[in-house]
Structures are given as C-alpha cells and as structure tokens.
C-alpha cells in the first residue's frame, strides 16, 4: 500500500495557507490575485509530481496522469470564502497531490492513473461550483451571463482580469474515469461530538435559495409620519423574523436555513430606506421540508403584499440543488480503509455543506471523506483540524484510492 | 423693503445644484471633493456680495458684513446626504446670500449688518451639525475624536485631505448677533397637504439614537444545526421587528422611529453571521415618548439576552438632542412677513427634522422658515419645490430679516 509523507503533506498545506493569509485565516476568493497565485503554485506542484499540469479557462487547475487506463479523479477547490478558513477546500486539493505522489513513489501503485484537480469558485463569489459545473458541462450560457459578485463585478471581467479570456475550458472525458473522490473537513461538530476520526459521506443535502427584494419609498426619517411610510427595511425585518418563527414547525431534524446577506439602501441612520434585499438559503437531505418552506414563504409574502406599502418580490436566487447520494462502490473502499486505520472510530454521515462532489456526481460515481473540524467551526478564521487527523485522513484516502484505482484498472 | 432678484436666486441655486449633480439629485457629502468645490464657490459669491468671506477649519463658509451694529446671522448647510436632494440645506444658504445682496442694494437697508453662513456636515457623514456645533463651541474633543464616516474614515483625515488642517475655526461672537434665521424646505407633506405656502417653525423635535451590536458565532450555513447556532442577523431581525411591533402603543401622534442602517458580517449568503449592527433613531417634540421608547428597548434587549446565544448591547449612538423652541421675537417677524405676502396661506408647525438652528438656538435666539416640499419627499433624488414657492420664501425671509435687523440695530 502507498505511503504518504506527513511532513511534505503538512508543509504544502501550510504553504498554500500562506497565500492570502490574514491572521489564522485565509482570504483568497475566486479569481483574486491571491487565488490565481495559489493556482499557479498548485500547477507547479502538480507538474513536479509528474502530472500534465494546466489551468483551464475558468481557473480549474488540472493535473493529468500519464499512465494509461481508467483513472480516479481526486480533488476539491482552493478558492475561499471572503473571510475563510485555511482547510476548506485546500485540504482535499493537497490530499490529492500527496496521494498522487505517494502512489507514483510505490512500485506496487506507480502504474495507476490518478488525476488531480482544484476547482474554481466553489464558494460562490460569482457562481457556486463554477469550476466543477464547467468541467461536467453544466455551466450554461444563461448561468454564466448572469454571474456577478456582490459588488456587481461580472464573472467575464474577473476571467479577463485573471488572464484567462480565450483559454480553453477542460471538459470531463467520462470514459476516462472510474470515479471522483473529494476529501474535506467536516465543517460541523458531528465527528468531534461522537469521538470519530473519519467520516464517510452518505449523501449531500439539497439546497435552495430565495432572494427577496423590498421596494418602498426613500424619505426623511424626521418628517415622514409613520402612517405614510413605505419602509423597505421594516418590511425586511418583519419577513425575516416571521420566517424564523414559522420554519421550525416545518423543519426536519437536520434542516437548516440562513438569512446571511442583507442590503439596505441607502443604509443611513437618518433616512427611511426605500429599497432592501435579503437572501434566504435552506437545506435538507430530502425535498419535503424544502417544499414546505417554499409554501410558507409564499404565504408570508402574499400576506404582507396584500397590506400594500412595501412591494416584496421573491425569486429563486440560484438553481436549486437536489439532494444527492454518494456512490456505493467508492464508499466501500473508503470504509474499508477507515476500518483498517481506525477500527470502530469512523462513521457514515450526510454532508450538510454542498461540495463539488455534488456537481460531479451527475457525471461520475462520486464519494467523499471527512476529517473532524475542531469545534465544528468553518467559514471563519477560527477553522482548524488536528495535525494527526489531517495525516490520518490522507492515509485513509491513499489506501482507498489505491484499491479503487486497481479495481478500475 | 428690499427687493430680491428671482433670476439671480434661481441661477445661483441651480449652479450649486450642478456641483455634484447626479440625475435630479446631488451627491455632495461633507468634505468630499464636490463639497469643498461648492464651499469655495460659495466663498467667492459671499465676497462678490461685499462680505468678508472665509472657510474655517471645519469647513464652515462664513460671510461677514462690514456694517457696524448688532447683526442677524442667516444660513444653513451645503453638504448633502449620500444620495441627497438639491434643496436640502442649499436653499437656506442661497437665500442668505440673496437676502444679503438685496439688503445691500436697497438704500433703506444697506446699513444693516447681515452675516451669512454655510455650515459643514449637518447631514452626519462624520458628526451631525459638525459646523454649527463648532461655531457655538459645542464640539468637544471627545465628540470629535470618535467621529468617523460609515467606511471608518476618521474626521481628522477628512479635514486634512480637504486642506483644512491647522486652519482656524470660527467661534460665534454672541454679542455681535441679535439672532439666527435658517430657511429650509419642509421635507414633509404638511404644507402641501394643507395648501399653505409658508411655514413658521414653532420648535424642533428632540432626537435620540441607539446603536445595537449583536455578537454571535460565525459559522457554516450548511453544517451548523439550528439548535447550536448563535446567528447575529437572526437576533437583529427579531429585535427590529419587536421594536416595530411595540413602539406604536407608546408613541405620540407625531413620534417617529427609524432603523435605516444595518451591518451584517460577513454578509454572505452561505455563512451564519457572527456580528451585526443596527441603528435606531427616534424623535418627538416632547421627551415623554422618547423615555417610553428607551424603556421598551431595554426590556426587549434584557429579554433576548436572558435567552443566551447572541449577546446584544445597546449604546447611545449620539448625544441626545432635546426638543427646542424657536425664538418668539424672530417668529413674529417671520409671521408678519408671511401674512403680508400670502395672507392666510401660511401656518405654524414643528420641525420633525433636526437642523443647525437647533444647535445655534443654545447660543442665540433662533428661528426657521419652511417652504413646501413637493410630495413631502426629501433625502432622495426626487426632492423638489416649485419655483414660485422658492421665490416667495426668499421674499418673506428678506422682509423679516430687514425688520429684525432694523429692530436690533
């Protein structure tokens, strides 16, 4: 079985962390200067590992094995949230690199084709899972044309500024691959709370998004009497609080919902706001609670619009993501490797976060492996995992990949 | 009696509008390049009118009469809201200039001392009524040190960048003045709704501000279960909606409250917010409803903090402003002039908006004159008044100032 090198693994993870580091966190949003610097560094590492390295027209970094035969695709993403942690995405990319190196260095596995990838913009600066969508052919012109960041910068401008205009975009050759495996930090507390060191993901929750717009009348906060106001922010507060009050009854055990993005215009203390926006996102492993939430939202919006005053519109903020199931064959390889390294200390669990594996699963058998997140904290500068968990996860992944690639070969 | 020149008045108002114009509105926040350009242009106009013109160390534009005797101070402010209207402040400044010119051009009034002023930052980019506070000696080092705009730019930096570091600050010589008169658009619908063309202000409402901060835990919107979340934005929505639900019972007829400024961190769709801010402002002509509001806020905050989770703090966002009464003697001059020009078509009314006159009234007898706002709209690009109302207001002001200055002389 292949032998990973813990020092090399941790050194590469820490080097990637240094690109865009801010305190303990990392600020490397998709297509930023730091993101592109990280991608060029990754391409060099992929080439050093003997892979054919390239950066495609949407920023995906690809490392293609020169070995013949059906391959396993490994990887994750290297872009981060606006104020992100150091392991989200980066872990799975450096694992992929280390596993490719370890397999190449072992005579028993050196013939196995393993490709590695770092996808672009998994974190939705412009369009969530942009890179994996592009690779599997799910990036429609419509989706792409409407994509812009929260400051209104269009995706096309960001691609041009990154020097990628006109660069070819890679498309997945499905017949080349036996499957895709993505390793990731859990980003939740379940492994830590239950004392497990490895998670084998059963499926990825579905996700829907609604953007509310509130159109009222901007006016002076001192002279406009309450009865004549059409205050867009007041309507936003009411809608948001009514959603938070009504959803618990309709939720399943692990259903989650978030209203994390607000915009109020002109956002000044002394002005009655004339316009506001609110994003609602909700997730569950099954469709039923998501359907119930949509019905509740429609009822509240209709009720508030019937009163007149502020006009509320609710529109799908993104293409809905259906719940997905991970491939049983690949899962068995992950489970066998986990049981070998930490018998009884691993578990099966769903992923509450969305991942590129959810996109790739439409084109290839896909699976995921989790390692514990300290305190369950993620999407935050405080995100971290223990070194021994990081090393263990890579060992489990290497064994599982070796077995899956041998089986496919 | 002095004769104002409508063409000159309207031409100067329109020239001032052109500095920072955006569509029908004006963007000329305090200390911006456009604001300083407008102030230099005003100083030139004051000098052309025969006044000793200067710009002081906080950006106040002053035009001092060379006539001996007790003077009347006239003026308002020329800075605007972030997306402001063209008459808010500007009207009172150009009225002051035109009245000074008209008095100087008439042999019967040419000896009367009338000073004019355009105050700085009435609109609270850094500190509401900065200029009038400075003039009357109410700008304390504490207030000044903490002043910063919503992007965190400190006031001292803005003063330096405007070239005003080290420039002397004017201080009001109280013994020089018999009083201060500020003309302004009403910024509300009362004059229009009642068919009146002039308003004589009885007093200015009191104003208090509270800034709420919400400290929770930033986390991943997919993996953090609802029961373990400490969502700063969810607490903000609840508090804001509970305030909007509870305040009506405690309000007087003309009490108003506004929550027009929100900040959510990191303000991303897929992240549970860990920090948020909300500004609450409330106004009334008497203290009692304001006291009741403060008690309600304290109860809701205590109730929510007792639940644990997000920690809410409520702090005074600004020095409270007590309700003020306008000077009876100056009001009588305004009322007499209004009755002469439009008999029966003027009214007395309180000002729901705060004004520099509220600050100056602590140092001098102060009064205000209103003209109608079309549709009551203000603090918005749509703010406007009819030309004949603009001209009428200036005629009424000129007569009142001539009478008041003669009486004081």
- pLDDT (tens digit per residue) in A32-78: 999 999 999 999 999 999 999 999 999 999 999 999 999 999 999 99
User: Is B381 in contact with B25 (CB distance < 8 Å)?
Assistant: yes
Quickly list H helices, A21-83: 33-48
Total Cβ atoms within 10 A of residue A302 = 11
Residues of chain A where predicted confidence (pLDDT) is lower than 70: none
Chain B CB contacts of A370 under 8 Å are none
Residue B122 lies in a domain: yes
Mutation site for B-interface testing, chosen from A215, A219, A318 by largest number of B Cβ within 10 Å: A219
pTM, 2 dp:
0.72
Please say which residue of A300, A316, A332 terminates a domain.
A316
Residue A1 lies in a domain: no
Q: Quickly count helices (H) and strands (E) in chain B.
A: 12, 17
**Residue of A95, A97, A118 lying closest to A46 (CA atoms):** A97
Chain B CB contacts of A223 under 8 Å are 186-188, 351-353, 376, 378
B169 and B73 in a common domain: yes
A125 and A236 in a common domain: no
Nearest to B271 among A236, A251, A260 (CB): A260
Cα distances (angstroms) measured from residue B5 to each of A139, B12, B17, B394, B395:
65, 11, 19, 9, 9
**Residue of A385, A293, A389, A285 lying closest to B223 (CA atoms):** A285
User: Is B59 in contact with B31 (CB distance < 8 Å)?
Assistant: yes
**Residue of A205, A194, A196, A206 lying closest to A370 (CA atoms):** A196
B312 and B344 in a common domain: no
HEC letters along B99-128: HHHHHHHCCCCCCCCEEEEEECCCCCCCCC
Cβ separation of B225 and A254 shorter than 8 Å?
A: yes
Tens-digit pLDDT profile for chain B (409 aa)? Answer: 799 999 999 999 999 999 999 999 999 999 999 999 999 999 999 999 999 999 999 999 999 999 999 999 999 999 999 999 999 999 999 999 999 999 999 999 999 999 999 999 999 999 999 999 999 999 999 889 989 998 999 999 999 999 999 999 999 999 999 999 999 999 989 999 999 999 999 999 999 999 999 999 998 898 888 998 999 999 999 999 999 999 999 999 889 999 999 999 999 998 999 999 999 999 998 899 999 999 999 999 999 999 999 999 999 987 788 899 999 999 999 999 999 999 999 999 999 988 999 999 999 999 999 999 999 888 889 999 999 999 999 999 999 999 999 999 8
A379 and A334 in a common domain: yes
A184 and A46 in a common domain: yes
Q: For the domain that residue A29 is a member of, what is the CATH number? A: 3.40.630.10
Chain A CB contacts of B192 under 8 Å are none
Domain with B200 in it: 6-205+323-408
User: Is B273 in contact with A380 (CB distance < 8 Å)?
Assistant: no
Please say which residue of A316, A334, A360 terminates a domain.
A316
Residue B275 lies in a domain: yes
In terms of C-beta density within 10 A (0-12 exposed, 13-18 middle, 19 or more buried), how is residue A188 classed? buried
How far apart (Å, rounded) are the C-alpha atoms in residues A98 and A75? Answer: 11
Cβ separation of A260 and B274 shorter than 8 Å?
A: no
Enter the tokens of residue B258. Answer: 């506004």
Residues 199-218 of A with CB under 8 A from B: 205, 207, 209, 217-218
Beta strands A114-119; A61-64: pairing state: antiparallel
Please say which residue of B263, B287, B316 terminates a domain.
B316
Cβ separation of A281 and B264 shorter than 8 Å?
A: no
| Interchain contact B271–A (C-beta under 8 A) | yes
Chain B CB contacts of A222 under 8 Å are 187-188, 205, 207, 256, 283, 351-354
| Interchain contact B160–A (C-beta under 8 A) | no
Q: For the domain that residue A226 is a member of, what is the CATH number? A: 3.30.70.360
A273 and A237 in a common domain: yes
Q: How many CB pairs under 8 A join A and B?
A: 229
B141 and B42 in a common domain: yes
A105 and A53 in a common domain: yes
At B223 the pLDDT is: 86
Cβ separation of B256 and A219 shorter than 8 Å?
A: no
Run of H or E residues at A9:
helix A6-18
B328 and B287 in a common domain: no
Distance from CA of A142 to the nearest CA of B (A): 21
| Interchain contact B269–A (C-beta under 8 A) | yes
Run of H or E residues at A30:
none
Question: Which positions ≥6 away from A124 have C-beta within 8 Å?
Answer: B269, B270
| Interchain contact B380–A (C-beta under 8 A) | yes
B221 and B201 in a common domain: no
| Interchain contact B251–A (C-beta under 8 A) | yes
Residue A379 lies in a domain: yes
B374 and B289 in a common domain: no
Nearest to B376 among A83, A224, A378 (CB): A224
Residue B1 lies in a domain: no
A217 and A286 in a common domain: yes
Number of separate domains in chain A: 2
Run of H or E residues at A185:
strand A177-185
| Interchain contact A194–B (C-beta under 8 A) | no
CA dihedral A126, A131, A135, A141 (to 10 degrees): 10
């Amino acid at each position: 079985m292949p032998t990973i090198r813990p020092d090399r693994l941790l050194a590469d993870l820490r080097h990637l962390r240094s690109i865009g580091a801010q305190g303990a966190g990392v600020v490397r949003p998709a297509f930023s200067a730091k993101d592109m610097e990280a991608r060029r560094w990754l391409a060099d590492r992929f080439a050093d590992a003997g892979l054919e390295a390239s950066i495609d027209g949407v920023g995906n970094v690809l490392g293609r094995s020169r070995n013949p035969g059906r391959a396993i695709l490994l990887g994750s993403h290297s872009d981060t949230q606006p104020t992100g942690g150091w392991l989200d995405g980066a872990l799975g990319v450096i694992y992929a690199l280390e596993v490719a190196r370890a397999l190449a260095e072992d005579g028993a596995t050196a013939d196995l084709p393993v490709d590695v990838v770092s996808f672009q913009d998994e974190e939705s600066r412009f369009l969530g899972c942009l890179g994996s969508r592009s690779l599997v052919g799910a990036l429609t012109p419509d989706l792409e044309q409407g994509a812009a960041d929260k400051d209104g910068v269009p995706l096309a401008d960001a691609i041009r500024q990154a020097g990628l205009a006109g660069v070819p975009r890679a498309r997945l050759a499905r017949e080349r691959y036996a499957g895709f495996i993505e390793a990731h930090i859990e980003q939740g507390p379940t492994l830590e709370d239950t004392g497990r060191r490895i998670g084998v993901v059963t499926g990825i929750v579905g996700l829907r998004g609604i953007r509310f717009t509130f159109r009222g009348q901007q006016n002076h906060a001192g002279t406009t009497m309450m009865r004549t106001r059409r205050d867009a922010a007041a309507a936003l507060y009411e809608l948001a609080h009514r959603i938070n009050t009504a959803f618990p009854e309709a939720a399943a055990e692990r259903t989650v919902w978030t209203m994390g993005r607000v915009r109020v215009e002109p956002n000044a203390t002394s002005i009655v706001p004339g316009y506001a926006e609110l994003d609602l996102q909700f997730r569950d492993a099954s469709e039923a609670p998501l359907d119930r939430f949509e019905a509740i939202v429609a009822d509240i919006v209709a009720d508030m619009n019937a009163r007149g005053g502020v006009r509320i519109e609710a529109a799908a903020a993104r293409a809905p993501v259906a719940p997905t199931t991970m491939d049983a064959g690949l899962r068995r390889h992950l489970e066998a490797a986990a049981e070998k390294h930490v018998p009884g200390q691993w578990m099966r669990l769903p992923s509450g976060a969305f991942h590129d594996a959810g996109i790739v699963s439409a084109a290839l058998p896909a699976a995921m492996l989790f390692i514990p997140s300290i305190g369950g904290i993620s999407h935050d500068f405080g995100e971290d995992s223990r070194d021994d968990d990081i090393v263990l996860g890579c060992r489990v992944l290497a064994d599982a990949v070796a077995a899956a690639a041998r089986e496919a070969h």
